[in-house]
Structure 1
């Protein structure tokens, strides 16, 4: 999976060069904590037929950051700590006896598509972090280039450290009814 503004905008044009360094999407930092809000602003602008220029992208980034800031200010400090699912994240899910390590910019939609048995942990990060985790647990990979891993003690310990650092995944994300089973 690649990180690109075209993903949240739904660009599936096979003739669009998603690796061209000169494209306007390079003006948006996918690691920005406000990325999800920025992507929503850009999506709304695309639906409205706005022609994107560097100035328009800069305005969308400012608007998205302001929107993100307002959302953060309205949260109550007493809320239980849960993993952030805003922006690009690396997720750890259980499907059967295996652990999938993947990345997404839309956690709810991705979990709806995957319908995991259990969402184990979520940490902020994108494709680069996902690839780092894949290399980190290469010895547990089910087969070359797979995103599925055997739940070794090292992987389980890492997942617990991610949960400790970033909180439990939100309980309202889509998952199978069997999610209450213990994955250990």
Structure 2
């Protein structure tokens, strides 16, 4: 038995347990090529093949191009200087092309009702009659909470799109 073994097993049984865990739970690694659905390079390899670690799309499967992309409404937070725009869209890439901004701060799933609630929530920081807000401590805390655990808001959006595709 190896001295640093986590359990009291001989090397042969440890190797067998490791092989079993790899077959059952997969081995995280880089995909052979980026995921066709969300673009992530991260995957999990099983004996039966690879799946994307972000959206769980089976590597090698081709999305049906004849299906319209699913609609996923999001509330977005864009930064330009010391201001933040809170808006909503179902097509962020197209929408952002029309808005001057420096950074996409966060997304949250939601429609115009959630956008309206956020506008009311941060009303004291709002520039009169616009969707632009001063970056206050409260707004920063909210954005940080939305972005927690993800360094790229687009990955979260890609996961939502992937989940919506999987439901179809």
Tell me the TM-score normalized by structure 1: 0.46
Kindly indicate whether structure 1 or structure 2 has the higher relative contact order, using CA contacts under 8 Å at least 6 residues apart: 1
Greater Rg over alpha carbons, structure: 2
Per residue, is there more strand in 1 or in 2? Answer: 2
